[in-house]
Amino acid sequence: MEKYLDKLPSFVEAIKSMKETIIANIVFIGQIPAPTFKEKRRTDFFMERLAEFQVDECTTDGYRNPIGIIRGNSPSKPPIFVVAHIDTVFESDIDHNYTVKKKTIKGAGILDNSLGVGVLASLPEIFRKLDLCFESDIVLAGVIQSLGRGNLRGIRHLLKTWDTPIRGAICLEGVELGRLNYYSEGMVRCEVECNISSAPGLLQRFRPNAILILNEVINQIMELRLPQRPRSKIIIGKISGGFKHGIIPFYAKLGFEIQSDLDKIVKSIYNDISDIIDDIRHQYEVELKLKTISNLNAASLKYNHPLVKCSGAVIESLGLKPISAPSESELSIFLAHKIPAVTLGITLGENIHLENSMMEIEPMYKGIAQIIGVIMAIDKGVCDE
Amino acid sequence: MNSNWLKKNTFHHSAFKDIDRLVEEKKRKNIKISLCLPTLNEEKTIAKEIIIMKSELMSRFQLLDEIVVIDSGSTDRTMEIASSYGADVYKADDILPKLEKFKGKGENLWKALYITKGDIIVYLDADIKNIHHRFVYALVGPLLLFDNIKYCKGFYDRPIVTGKNKIRPTGGGRVTELVIRPLFSLFFPELTQILQPLSGEYAGYRELFEKIPFPIGYGIETSIILDIYEKWGLDVIAQVDLERRVHRNQDTKSLGKMSFVILKTFCNRLEKIGIAELKKDFFNEMIQYKLGKDEYQPDIYKDKGSERPPIIEIPEYREKFKVPKCTPALERLDMKSAR
């Protein structure tokens, strides 16, 4: 194990010498808008790029996830997956042109997840530069329809239809360098929509206020008692509604997530909230709907799993401190399929979901070296035990 | 009017996307290609241009031999950033220092002829927000693949960035439509076929650029077209559709200044060619008005209309590029024989 750990610091300089190629890939990919469900142009470019870098096989699966396969030396070894989600939270009509400066790159979606996809597209050239060959095939997969309503459909489909064993997997996210995610919580992501039918004339002045109805929903959710163990929480994440200061809104929407280490608790909290919604609907005589837009089951590797230990050692060998936290991403789907997997962050940055999102260039080289270190660890067999 | 030109000499960038073929042709012809980026406070866009060109056209394909930045005196970090990404960066004032110093884009392009090594020089504005390597390979393509073509001009849709991160799908090209196109229609109808005569993206053989004068300022694009057309004819010119170029929006007053300089350059060329005779010298000031405290105040922009001579006439250049001495009369003959 130590042999490849020793090599990692020297990889950082070699990777840095390829900065033009890596940054060009990040910029080219990030400048193509890819809101969830509209990722085709970015997908096509990613595929084209892999083909240009002479990846052995470039294809898309039945769900149009773009995949490149770098053939390994040992056909008997199962493949190693490296994945990054292609989609972003930004719509197509905003400016996607990036600004590159000496130390930073700025632009919409750079951290989530143009950086991840750009690095994924650069890996074939980086392997070549570092003269790296692997026993396993390396499957580079950009996965579509990951975020929000996408509900990780891309990775779900990819793993459902992949019919041979997978040795291990690494999920790439833009930030933060040092993160080491190896477990995901059970989660249900929901929306509550309040719709009040409009009536003409004087009645309009006294009709219920959709925002206040949702306020009542929030108040009652806040009164729910949540267990400390297993850890559980409700995050009220989004709210929208209204037109003008003096007009009573007849439509409002609330978005929230229930998270817990135990799926049973998620289900139980969901049922409680559903009862709250039913009650308020009846009490105020309004149209109030609860919709589930995505869900995940809790899944985890043990802290002492060899992949987790090795990944931590890789991160530390580069002078970084591993930080673990749950991740509701592609990781949970791998873990649900009993495939050892971790999520790694590539660099440091800020304003992750704002249009002026910014990444730091220099830490990225260590971020890439750590990815290679973990691939090498899996290729040496840490997940085979 | 030669109206076939538009059909025959207009290309789409996709026609040149086989970069391997261009590299082969470049090798076969044994020529070098230089990219020149003239800058003045372009710290937001310069890095991206250099990175993409280096990655795609120097590392992956060896189409470019050098990237040179010539700076007019930026007060931001343009030069530092350009240098950190490996471009050869020069202050315009430091090049040919014995000559009188001027500030302007044309000055940078002219001095680039002295600094660069290429047989083909590609000039790109440094403020392109959606830079792509097609901006270079598509301009170089016709020069490498068609022996008669010596100068290639880019054209494109021009969405402009307005306000906070919003893009307006059409716009730009106002000076072209309001100034240049009417002038071309009046005096050189053939040249109206050049769809964006003011675009800052063009490439050409050194053997042409070194033989024409370069105005210092905004008139450079117009004068290059007029001089090449006059000396070698329309058939040495091609244009390439680069599709989309996102750039900064300029306000009407700035465009007014630009139009003033272009009109002046154009009229000077008319006189030089012998099409028109000016009975009186031009004034050198563009006068616009702005509302000050309770009164309109003149806002005066001065342009002397300075121009650099063909660089081949500069002894330092002749020495560096080992150009044999010949008389101006012979040179003129030389140019005509190339038509």
Domains present along chain A, CATH in parentheses: 2-184+298-380 (3.40.630.10), 187-295 (3.30.70.360)
Q: Give the pLDDT of residue B102.
A: 93
Give the A window 263-322 contacts with B, CB below 8 Å: none
Q: Per-residue confidence at A216, pLDDT binned at 50, 70, 90?
A: very high
Phi and psi at residue B137, to the nearest 5° = -65, -30
Among B residues 41-60, those touching chain A with beta carbons less than 8 Å apart: 43-45, 47-48, 51-52, 54-56, 59-60
Cβ within 8 Å, pair A20-B47: no
Q: What is the residue-averaged pLDDT of chain B?
A: 89
Distance between B165 CA and the closest CA of chain A, angstroms: 5
Instruction: Give me the count of residues in chain B.
Output: 339
Nearest to A233 by CA among A224, A220, A243: A224
Beta strands B202-205 and A168-175 are unpaired
Q: Which among A28, A99, A108 has CB closest to B44?
A: A99
pLDDT band at A255 (very low <50, low <70, confident <90, very high): very high
pLDDT in tens, A323-381: 988 887 899 999 999 999 999 999 999 999 999 999 999 999 999 999 999 999 999 99
Residue-wise pLDDT for B50-59, tens only, equals: 999 999 999 9
DSSP conformation letters of B192-211:
GGSS-TT-S-EEEEHHHHTT
- Mean pLDDT throughout B270-280? 87
In this predicted structure, what is the pLDDT of residue B166?
A: 52
Cα–Cα distance measured from residue B78 to residue A138, given in angstroms and rounded to the nearest whole number: 40
The pLDDT score that the predictor gives to residue B302 is 87
State yes or no: pLDDT of B328 exceeds 60.
no
Tokens of A11: 């990889």
If 0-12 CB within 10 Å is exposed, 13-18 middle and 19+ buried, where does residue A266 land?
buried
pLDDT of residue B339: 37
pLDDT > 50? residue B169 = no
Judged against a pLDDT cut of 50, whether residue A296 lies above it is answered with: yes
Q: A19 touching B, CB under 8 A?
A: yes
User: Which CATH number is correct for B4-337, 3.90.420.10, 1.20.120.450, 3.90.550.10, 3.30.1280.10?
Assistant: 3.90.550.10
pLDDT (tens digit per residue) in B24-47: 999 999 999 999 999 999 999 999
Shortest CB distance from A100 goes to which of B47, B54, B86?
B47
For residue B61, give the chain A residue with the closest CA.
A52
Residues B216 and B207: their CA atoms lie apart, in Å, by 20
- Number of neighbouring beta carbons within 10 Å of residue A191: 15
Contacts of A94 in chain B (CB under 8 A): 165-166
**pLDDT tens digits for range B60-81:** 999 999 999 999 999 999 999 9
CA pair distance B3, B7, nearest whole angstrom:
8
B165 CB near a chain A CB, below 8 Å? yes
B336, pLDDT greater than 70: no
Q: Do B55 and A23 touch (CB under 8 A)?
A: yes
Please report which confidence band the pLDDT of residue B165 belongs to, taking 50, 70 and 90 as the band edges.
low
Which residues of chain B lie closer than 8 angstroms to A24, CB-CB? 51-52, 55-56
Nearest residue to A193 (alpha-carbon basis) of A140, A143, A239: A239
The answer to whether A28 faces chain B, any CB pair under 8 Å, is: yes
What pLDDT, on a 0 to 100 scale, did the predictor assign at position A199? 57
Question: Is pLDDT of A206 > 90?
Answer: no
Query: What is the pLDDT at residue B217?
Result: 86
- Cross-chain Cβ contact A102/B44 below 8 Å: no
Q: What is the C-alpha separation between A209 and A195, in angstroms, rounded?
A: 10
Query: Which three-class secondary structure state does DSSP give residue A96?
Result: coil
Q: What is the rounded distance in angstroms from the CA atom of residue B323 to the CA atom of residue B332?
A: 15
Closest-CA distance of chain B to residue A39, Å: 19
pLDDT band at B243 (very low <50, low <70, confident <90, very high): confident
